[in-house]
Amino acid sequence: MMLAVASGFCFVIVCARCIAVDQAAGHASRVRRSEDSGSAASAGAPTYVGKQVCRECHPQNFELHQHSGHADTFSRSVDSEIAKKFAGKALDAGNPYGVFHYEWGSDGLQTRRAAGLNQDPFSLQYAVGSGRNAMTLLTLIDDTEADAAGIEHRISWFGSHGDFGLTPGHVGLTPQNETELLGNVVRDNSVQQCVYCHTTTGTIVGTEIVDLVADVNCEKCHGPGSEHVQQARQSETPPPFSVGRDRWDFEAELQLCGDCHRLPRNIDPAALREYSAELLRFQPVGMLRSECYLESDGQFMCSTCHNPHQDSKAKSTAAYEQDCLACHQSDSDAHVACSVSPTSGCIECHMPATKFEQGMVFHDHWIRIRDAE
C-alpha cells in the first residue's frame, strides 16, 4: 500500500504523491462547458500558445494572474529567486541528516552534506511552490524501481515565517540509504502528480521534463488556446472558448479547482468523517460540507468569493464579507442573517485563519457555527 511513503507537503492525510486521481486523462483540468466537449478536439487538437499570447487581448486577467500564487508554482532552481536564498548557507536539518551546505552552480542550486564535502555536489533541480507559504526543491533521478522518480529535498523555505525549515512531513523518518539522506524519494504516480498539479503541462522523461510549461497558467484551466487565438485574430467576436463568467457551471468549477485543491474522493474516509485538522487546507472538502453550499442550489462556488485570476490576499476581508452579505441579509428572508453580528466580522468567526505546520495559515472553508472556546 503506497500510503506507507506518506510524506509531504501538500498531502498530509493521503500523501500528495499517492493520490490515485484520474488526472492523467485530464478530464477535469480544463474549464469547458459540457456542451463543448468533443467538438473542439475533432477539428485537429489545439496546441499551447503560452500566456504571453493571451496577454495581448486579455491584459487585465493577465495582470491579476501574474500577481497570484498560480503564476509561480514551478521553476528551474536556476530561475528561482527563492532558491538563491539558500546559496552560500549551511543549514542544519538535525539528526540523522546533519548540516547541508549550499552553493550556486551553472545549473542553479546544489548541495552537499557536511559529512560528504569531498563528494560531488547534488543538483537541486526544480523549485516547487511560490514561497508565499513555502518552496520545496525537487530533483528528478534515475531509479531502477520506477519509470519516474524524484527527491523532495529535506529543507524548504517558508514564506510563512521567513525562514528555512524541515520540509513538512519529513519529521521522524529513518533514511534507508545515502540518497534518502538528501530527501524523500517520490516515485511514479506521486512524482507525476507533483508535476501535474504545479505546472501547465510537462512530461517526465528520465531526469528531465519534456515540453515543460511551468506554473498554473491560463491554458491549464482554459485548455490549449491556439484555435481560439486564430479565431480571435480573424473576428472580434470569436466563437465561445472555454468559459465566460455568465455561463459558468458550479459542477465544472468544483471539478476544475478540486482537481488540484483536492476533493473528498482524494481523502481517507476516516479523516473525512472526523474532519481531522489537516483537512482545513483542502478548501473544496470544507466547502462541500458547508450549509451555504448544501442549501443554495448551485449558487455557492469558489468564484462566488474568488476571482480565479486574482491573488486571494489582494482582496480585503471587508470585500469577502460583502460576499457573505450578498446572501445573508437581515432585511431579506431569502436566507437567515447572523444574530450575533449581522454586518461584519464574518470571516474571523465562521472561516477563521488557522495555523498549520511551520506557521502556514489556512482558512477553514467549512463555514459553520463554531462552539465558543
Q: Which of residues 101-120 bind ligand HEC (CB under 6 A)?
A: none
Question: Least CB distance from residue 219 to ligand HEC, whole Å?
Answer: 5
Does position 338 bind ligand HEC by CB under 6 A?
A: yes
Q: How far is CA 106 from CA 77, 79, 125, 136, 150, in A?
A: 11, 11, 11, 20, 20
Other CB atoms within a 10 A radius of the CB of residue 363 amount to 18
**Residue 117: Cβ-neighbour burial (10 angstroms; 0-12, 13-18, 19+):** exposed
Residues 204-243 that bind ligand HEC (CB under 6 A): 216-222, 225, 228-229, 232-233, 236, 238, 240-243
Choices 89-97, 104-112, 117-125, 331-339; region in contact with ligand HEC by CB under 6 A: 331-339
Within 59-88, the residues that bind ligand HEC by CB under 6 A are: 61-62, 65, 68-70, 73
Of 14 and 78, the one with the shorter C-beta distance to ligand HEC is 14
Q: Check residue 350 for interaction with ligand HEC (CB under 6 A).
A: yes
What DSSP letter does each residue of 24-89 carry, written as one string?
GGTSSSS---GGGTTHHHHTS------HHHHHHH-HHHHHHHHTSGGGGSEEEGGG-HHHHTTTT-
Quote the DSSP letter at residue 344.
S
Separation of alpha carbons 49 and 218, rounded Å? 10
Judging by DSSP bridges, how do beta strands 74-76 and 126-128 pair with one another?
Answer: antiparallel
105/244 with CB nearer ligand HEC: 244
Work out how close the CB of 335 gets to ligand HEC at its nearest, in angstroms, rounded to a whole number: 3
| Residue list 155-194, contact with ligand HEC (CB under 6 A) | 186, 193-194
Among 165, 201, 281, 366, binds ligand HEC (CB under 6 A): 281
Q: How far is the CB of 5 from ligand HEC (least distance, A)?
A: 11
CB 359, min distance to ligand HEC, A = 11
Q: Using CB under 6 A, pick the residue from 13, 256, 267, 279 that binds ligand HEC.
A: 256
Q: Cβ 144 to ligand HEC, closest distance in Å?
A: 20
Residues 123-142 that bind ligand HEC (CB under 6 A): 128-130, 132-136, 138
Q: How far is the CB of 58 from ligand HEC (least distance, A)?
A: 4
Count the helix, strand and coil residues of the chain and give each as a percent rounded to the nearest 5. Answer: 35, 20, 45
Contact at 8 Å (CB) between 76 and 124? no
Does residue 203 bind ligand HEC (CB under 6 A)?
no
Of positions 303, 322, 330, 332, contacts ligand HEC by CB under 6 A: 303
**323, containing H or E segment:** helix 317-325
Edge-to-edge strand ranges of the sheet holding 90-92:
90-92, 99-105, 108-113, 122-123
